[in-house]
Amino acid sequence: MAAGLPRRIIKETQRLMAEPVPGISAVPDESNARYFHVVVAGPEGSPFQGGVFKLELFLPEEYPMSAPKVRFMTKIYHPNIDKLGRICLDILKDKWSPALQIRTVLLSIQALLSAPNPDDPLANDVAELWKVNESEAIRIAREWTRTYAMGN
Amino acid sequence: MSATDTVERSTLGLIFSKDVYERLLQENGPNIDVYLAYATYLGQNGNVTESLEVLCHIYRIYSMSTEKLFPVVSKIIQYLRADSRENSSPPLRNVFSCPCCWGVLHEPMTLQCGHSYCRRCLLKENLKTCRVCQSKLKNFSPTALKNSVLITTLVDRWWSGEVDGVKLRSRGNECFKMQDLERAVNLYTEAVDYAPQDHLLLSNRSHVLHTLGRAEEALKDADAAIQCQPEWAKGYFRRAMALISLGRYEDAFVALLQCAILEESNSLRSIKEEITKALHRLLGRLTAGRRLNVEGRVNRLMKGFPRLTPAISDPAIPFVSDSEDSEDSEDCRRQRHSEATALAIEEVPQIRKIIDRFNLERDRRKKMSTGYVRQVDSLDFDKNEFECTLCFRYLYQPVTTPCGHCFCRTCLDRCLDHSTNCPLCKTSIKVYLAERRSAITEFVEVAMQTVMPSECVDRRRQHEEELEELANAGKDRHHEIPIFVATIAIPTITCPLHVFEPRYRLMIRRCMESGTREFGMCLPMDNAKNGYADYGTMLEIRDVEYTSDGRSIVNTVGSRRFKIESKGFKDGYNTATVEFLEDDEVSPECLGETRRLHDTVNQVASSWFESIESTTKRRILGHYGPMPPVEVEYWTLPNGPTWMWWIVAILPLDSRIQLSVLRETSIRRRLEIIRCILKCVMSQQRACQVAAAPQ
């Protein structure tokens, strides 16, 4: 059976509870301490402002040697997030370092919402529109935010 | 034996007794080289006073040069240093100070051996070995190192005044270099307010004051530096320089001797040169006005060599000049030589006094307090600073990367399984990995033990418990063993493994560190739970060869077989609780039949092996060795006869069939399976031979 929860995960969880990241809440699942229910508020000034986005974050067995697995549960119109909610973020892939934490990951995701990067796309159609007609892309993103990320 | 012989022999390192030198001088007359050899002999054998007396004697006869004096001084210093090392423990080192300058660590950098130095000291000193542990510094370039982040924080916290002092001192040093001496003194004086105990500062100010001709003040600063660090050689050097300016040669000489015995580096040339100069001046003064003259000659003669008295009753010996600098005429010199023939080397009270003073001061210094000791303020610190950024616990066995970051040793090792970059700054730390470094950063460890001893004890206990847990692997059904999923391993058969996957690097390291040196090997199986077979074999690690990139070749050999009871995970690799398998007992009534079957199958196996093609056979012999002989009472062994495993290993079998043999705990059934396989293989071989045979 899996060994007890590593000290590091316990500490990270405690600290996330004690000093939460502004605009982000991350609560461990009652039955699985490695699974977090995350809610990120759409950053101000971004097309996602006003939206509340649900994510799931899972700490694999090898964490912190391998990156947490994070996915958007709420639909979002963003060039770096695909239909399935998968996120294109370097620190979740090859740029992961064990010195990073849940907190830093969530901050990076928040920053990604503020600054979409259509040059490194995951959702090609979204990225294309973002490059060709940014105002239209932002309009759709706002609409999606209203439709999927508000009032639920 | 001639005098030249003696000199030659003495330079060859032959040791004469005192008598030999004295007789030589008596019989052959005075010879400067013999005198010098004699003085050297006395000096290197610890008769420093007598050695100096011989030198004094030489000065009364000859005009000496510092070049001739230098080798004698060298030998004396060599003796004094050895003597002082033998008779006293090395100075207590302060782990919070730089091993080079003994000052507060300014821009600290941690070497591969775990000792920390000031950046400037490392750049200046060009060290080949660590001053503290003497370990060789491999591929070491101070410019490739970055400041140690944690130590910098701690130094700034605990000794900020001293750090400010160092900054002002550096500015002072710059001014000194630019010849702006007054300004340098002012900066040093300002710095003293911040760091009144900074011996380097006091020593530098002493140097500048000395250069400015303010010898009294220079002396005061040198003495203050000595007060701060009584074991610091340079303080005595500064003192000596000030004393020379003040014309106090005897005191200067004593201070220089102290300096020579304390100096840590082995480059003593400049100190020896100063001592030679000081001694030259001193002996010149001592002999001034005491050059050999008629009256003196008679007295000494009577005292030293009574039997020669008649030879010098000649009153015609001329008066010898008192002045040390006066040019001796050839006649005078010859005359002096002849008269000295009979002259004994006499005691010189001043020299005795000087050496007594040196001994006294040295002994007093040993008894003195250690001077200023840099201590940590146990009330002023932040526990979080000592937390490892990888495991979020307090640092245990802290190590420092070349980029200056500090982690628990095992945490960093684990990161290096995955990446050769520093987890914090992403700088490549391939060197650290390639050299398999593991030296603990002494400063951090000692600081932690000082300010938070109980936390350190707890942390150590945690580590030991974890290690014990690993060491208990497989001890009973509650303790999981690590499982390597790669191939089928067979008891008694060697199994070399190339370990490159991060999780297995970790696993092998843990097997080695916990001392178990074994793990389970299981065959991958898609349809089985967790993707591997429910039976396996323990592999004992014989040795591990690491490559510079962290991979390893692990040489193992199969031992016990096991059946898995439950499967789990630990830090990325598989684990399992197991039941170890042993062969069923062979009942007495079945023994005869089993043995008959065994002998038949053994016979078939060896004739099959004999029949196989020679290159294949050679390859098998090279890899697995010859067929093992049958053990006595093989039916009582936990794994049965060894040759059966050997044959299972060499037969061209699918690993699933090998597995079916492995899990079988009845010798009889195993024999039956093997017999069946052999039959099958042999008939196939025959079929091939028939097909290949010419029509």
What pLDDT does B2 receive? Answer: 55
The 10s digit of each residue's pLDDT in B330-341 is 665 555 555 544
Size of interface A-B (CB pairs under 8 A): 50
Q: Is residue B426 within 8 angstroms of chain A, CB to CB? A: yes
Contact across the interface for B392 and A3, Cβ inside 8 Å: no
Query: Residue B310 above 70 pLDDT?
Result: no
8 Å CB contact of A97 and B423: yes
* CA pair distance B249, B268, nearest whole angstrom: 20
Q: Name the class of domain B474-581.
A: mainly beta
CB atoms within 10 A of CB B274: 20
Q: Is the CB of A65 less than 8 angstroms away from the CB of B569?
A: no
CA distances from B525 to B86, B253, B417, B530, B532 (A): 68, 83, 26, 8, 4
Q: Specify the range with the lowest mean pLDDT, choosing from B218-232, B245-259, B298-312, B545-559.
A: B298-312
Mutate to test the interface with B, among A1, A66, A94, A96 (most CBs of B within 10 A): A1
Instruction: Annotate B532-590 with three-state secondary structure.
Output: EEEEEEEEEEEEEEECCCCCEEEEEEEEEEEEEEEEEEECCEEEEEEEEECCCCCCHHH
- Answer whether A62 sits within 8 Å of B571, measured CB to CB: yes
What beta strand segments (E) does B416-502 contain? 481-485, 494-499
* CB-CB contact of B60 with B291 (8 Å): yes
- A71–chain B nearest CA distance, Å: 22
Are B426 and A97 inside 8 Å of each other by CB?
Answer: yes
Residues of B in contact with A65 (CB under 8 A): 414-415, 417-418, 502, 571-572
Q: Which fold has domain B163-277+345-372?
A: 1.25.40
> Residues near B209 by Cβ (< 8 Å), separated by ≥ 6?
B185, B215, B217, B218, B221
Q: pLDDT tens-digit profile of A76-87?
A: 999 999 989 999
Q: Which residues 496-515 of B have a C-beta within 8 angstroms of A? A: 502-503
Give me the interface pTM, i.e. the ipTM: 0.87
B406, B398 Cβ separation under 8 angstroms: yes
Domain ranges of chain B: 3-89+289-343, 163-277+345-372, 383-462, 474-581, 588-692
pLDDT surpasses 60 at B14: no
- ω into residue B496 within 30 of 0, thus cis? no
Q: Does A93 touch chain B (CB under 8 A)?
A: no
Tokens encoding B143: 């410019």
pLDDT at B394 over 60: yes
Are A97 and B414 a contacting pair at CB < 8 A? no
Interval B421-465: pLDDT, tens: 999 999 999 988 888 888 999 999 999 999 999 999 999 999 999
The string of pLDDT tens digits covering residues B609-661 is 998 888 999 999 999 999 999 999 999 999 999 999 999 999 989 999 999 99
How much is the pLDDT for B303?
A: 43
Residue A50, chain B, CB below 8 Å: the answer is no
When CB atoms are compared, the residue of A3, A7, A61 closest to B391 is A7
> How many Å separate Cα B424 from the centre of its chain?
29
Active site residue: A88, A89, A92, A106, which one? A88
Partners of residue A8 in chain B, C-beta under 8 Å: 390-393
Contact A65 B415 (CB under 8 A): yes
Shortest Cα distance, chain B CAs vs residue A22, angstroms: 22
- Whether B390 and A7 lie within 8 Å, measured CB to CB: no
B289 touches chain A (CB under 8 A): no
Q: How far apart are CA B568 and CA B480, in angstroms?
A: 8
Within 8 A of A2 by CB-CB distance, chain B residues are 568-570
User: Are A6 and B424 a contacting pair at CB < 8 A?
Assistant: no
Which residues of B are less than 8 Å from A16 in CB distance?
A: none
- Residues of chain A scoring pLDDT < 70: 1-4, 152
Nearest alpha carbon to residue B571 among B417, B406, B389: B417
- Judged by CB atoms closer than 8 Å, whether chains meet at B570 and A2 is answered as yes
Neighbours of B318 (CB within 10 A): 13
How is B605-633 classified by DSSP, letter by letter?
HHHHHHHS-HHHHHHHHHHH-SPPPPPTT
Q: Identify the residue whose tokens are 């040793």.
A: B409
Instruction: Say yes or no: domain B383-462 is CATH 3.10.20.90.
Output: no
Give contacts of B569 with chain A, Cβ < 8 Å.
2, 61
Q: Distance between CA atoms of B479 and B89, rounded to whole angstroms?
A: 49
Interchain CB contact of A65 with B (< 8 Å): yes
Dist. CA B513–CA B492, nearest whole Å: 24
A88 catalytic per annotation: yes
- Which tokens hold the place of B604? 């078939």
pLDDT value of position B7: 54
